[in-house]
Amino acid sequence: MSTKATKRSPRVKPGQREEETLRVLISHQRIRERVRHMAQEIRRDFPNEPMHLVGVLKGSVLFLADLARELGGEVSFDFISVSSYGKGMDSTGEVKMNKDLDVSIEGRSVLVVEDILDTGLTLKYLLRLFEERKPKHLRVAVLLDKVERRIADVKADYTGFAIPNEFVVGYGLDYDERYRNLPDVCVVRLGPRGKTKIEA
C-alpha cells in the first residue's frame, strides 16, 4: 500500500502555510522541564497556600494547564480577556477588557499567568486592576519574556524563558489565531527568507 498521500516533510508543522516558515526556538521538552521548576519555585514561596491562578486569555491556556498540574496542593483558576488597542504590533497602551474575572480575588493568593511579556502594557493594566481588588498576594508568572521590548515598568516574579525580539507562536501563542496547538515555541517568519511579523 502506498503511503504517499500521508507522507509529509518533517519540517512542515501542522497548520503551516506555504508562505510562512517556522523555526523551533524552545522545544516542548524544555518547556515541560522549565514549567516543572517554576511550579517548584512557586510552591517553595507559597507552601500549603491555596493558589488562585488567573489566566490571561487566550495565549496562557496551555501554560496554565501545565503549571496548574505541576503545582499540586489547592489550586483554583479563573480567566480574564483583554486586548490592547493599536495598529499592528504598535500598542498605544490603551487596554480594553473583553471579559472580567468570574469570582472575587479579595483575600486570595493570586498568580497571574501570562504567555508572554512584551511591552508590558497589558500586565501593567492588569496589576493595577487586580491590586485595587485587595488580594492577599499578587504574583505574576510568564512563560516568555521579550526583555528588550519593554515599555512599562513591570516584571514577572516567575519567568520561564527570556527570548529575543522575534515573533513567536505555539504552546498557546498565535499568529492570526493559528499555531496555538503547536507543542514547541517557534519563531514564525513570512516567506522563506521573510521578515518576522514584528519587522514587517
Give whole-number Cα distances, 156 to 5, 44, 147, 170, 175, in Å: 47, 17, 11, 21, 24
Does residue number 168 form part of the binding site for ligand IMP (CB under 6 A)?
yes
Three-state SS letters, 112-163: EEEEEECCCHHHHHHHHHHHCCCCCEEEEEEEEECHHHCCCCCCCCEEEEEC
Does residue number 119 form part of the binding site for ligand IMP (CB under 6 A)?
yes
In angstroms, the CA 159 to CA 156 distance is 6
Does residue number 117 form part of the binding site for ligand IMP (CB under 6 A)?
yes
Does residue number 118 form part of the binding site for ligand IMP (CB under 6 A)?
yes
Among the candidate windows 8-16, 67-75, 102-110, 121-129, which touches ligand IMP by CB under 6 A?
121-129
Residues within window 70-89 making contact with ligand IMP, judged by CB under 6 A: 84
Among the candidate windows 5-13, 70-78, 115-123, 131-139, which touches ligand IMP by CB under 6 A?
115-123
The distance of closest approach from Cβ of residue 166 to ligand IMP in the complex, given in angstroms and rounded to an integer, is 7
Sign of the CA dihedral with 124 first, then 127, 133, and 134 last: negative
Does residue number 121 form part of the binding site for ligand IMP (CB under 6 A)?
yes
Does residue number 116 form part of the binding site for ligand IMP (CB under 6 A)?
yes
Q: What is the CA radius of gyration of the chain?
A: 18
The distance of closest approach from Cβ of residue 117 to ligand IMP in the complex, given in angstroms and rounded to an integer, is 5
Does residue number 16 form part of the binding site for ligand IMP (CB under 6 A)?
no
Does residue number 120 form part of the binding site for ligand IMP (CB under 6 A)?
yes
Q: Which of 39, 91, 112, 126 binds ligand IMP (CB under 6 A)?
A: 91
Q: How many residues line the site for ligand IMP (CB under 6 A)?
A: 16
In angstroms, the CA 27 to CA 165 distance is 18
Whether 118 is catalytic: yes
Q: What distance, in Å, lies between the first and last C-alpha atoms of the chain?
A: 45
| Beta-bridge mates of residue 22 | 188
Q: Using an 8 Å Cβ cutoff, are 78 and 52 in contact? A: yes
Does residue number 59 form part of the binding site for ligand IMP (CB under 6 A)?
yes
Does residue number 115 form part of the binding site for ligand IMP (CB under 6 A)?
yes
- The catalytic position among 45, 102, 115, 118 is 118
Torsion of CA 110, 111, 117, 121, to 10 degrees: 0
Contact positions vs ligand IMP (CB under 6 A): 59, 84, 91, 114-123, 167-168, 173
Catalytic residues: 118
